[in-house]
Amino acid sequence: MSGEFPRTRECQLDDEILNLIWARKMAWSHAADRLGANIGRARALLLALGCVGAVFETLAATAFARDEAVRTASAAAGSVCLAVATYVGSQWLTGAATRAWTLSRSVSEALKAEFYLCRARCGPYAADDRAALLNAKTAEIEEAGADLAAQLAAAAPGGEAPPGDLDQAAYVATRVMGQVSRYLRPTAQRYARRVGLLRALAIGCGGLATVIGAVAACLSATPGWGGSDSGLAAWVAVLTTIGASIGAYISEKRYDFLILAYVNSARRLETLANEWRAHAGRMDQPSWDMFVRSCEDVIAGTNQSWMAKLMQPGA
C-alpha cells in the first residue's frame, strides 16, 4: 500500500493542475463570449438605429410636414437615433474591440486544444509529466493576452466541466464528432437561417421601393395630382437605404464566409473520424499522434480563418 500512495497522490495533484487550467480556459472563453456579444449587439443596434432614424427623418419631411410640432419631434427623434448610432459605433465597433475579442477567443481555443491533446495523451503529453508540460504551455499561450487582464477579471466563473482522460474512442466522440454535432453544423445552420431572413428583408425593401417608385412616377405624370408624387419618392430612398444597410450588415458579420468555413471543417473532421474508424484499435502511438494533430489543426484552422477575416479592413 505504501508504494501506491505516491502514485495516487501524484494523480490527484495532476487533476488539480488540469482542473485549474481548464478553469482558466473557461475564463478566457467567457471573456470572449462577452466581448463578442457586445460587438454583435452594437452592430444590430447600429442597423436598427440607422433604419429608424431614416424613417423619422423622412416622416418629418413628408407625412408630418404640415404639423410643425409633430414635424419637429419626428425630426428630433431621427437626429437622436442617428447621433446614438454614431456614438455606438465609435465606442463598441472599434479595431481595439475586435482585437480584444479575437485575441481572447484565440487564447481560449488554443488552451482548449492543448487540454485535449493532454487528455488524449498525444505527443509529449503521453509522458508522466504531462500536467507540468500543460502548465508551462498554458503560461506561454496566456502571455499573448497579457494586456486583456481587465476583460479576463470581469469574466464570469464556472461553466463547462473539464473532460477527463480520453481513450481513442472517447476523443473521437467527444472532441471530433462533438465539435461537428454541437458546434460546426448547428452554427452553420443557424447562420444560414439568419442570412435567409435578412436577405428576404433586403429583397422585400428593394421590391417595395420599386413599387413605390413606379406609383410615384405615375402620380407625378398625372395632371390631377398637379405633378406631385405626395412625397413617395422620399420613401423610395429610405427603403433603398434600409435594404443596403441590411446587406452591409450581412457583409460585416461575414455570414457567408463563416457558413462555408464551418461546413467544410465539419466535413474534414468527419472524414478524419471515418479514417480512425477504419483503423480503430490498430493505431500505434505515432499514428495516433498524427491523427489527433490533424484533427486539432482542422479545428484551429477554422478558428484562425474567421478571426483573420474579422480583422480585415471593414470588419
Could you tell me what percent of the chain has a pLDDT over 70?
91
Per DSSP, helices labelled H in the chain are 5-61, 68-92, 95-119, 130-143, 149-153, 168-171, 177-179, 185-221, 232-253, 255-278, 285-310
Q: What angle do CA 40, 269, 113 make, to 5 degrees?
A: 65
pTM, rounded to two decimals = 0.86
For 189-204, write each residue's pLDDT tens digit.
999 999 999 999 999 9
Measured between alpha carbons, how far is 170 from 129 in angstroms, rounded to an integer?
22
- Burial label for 96, CB within 10 Å (0-12, 13-18, 19+), is exposed
CB 50 within 8 A of CB 80: no
For 12-60, write each residue's pLDDT tens digit.
778 889 999 999 999 999 999 999 999 999 999 999 999 999 999 888 8
Ranges of residues in the chain with a pLDDT under 70 are: 1-11, 222-230, 311-315
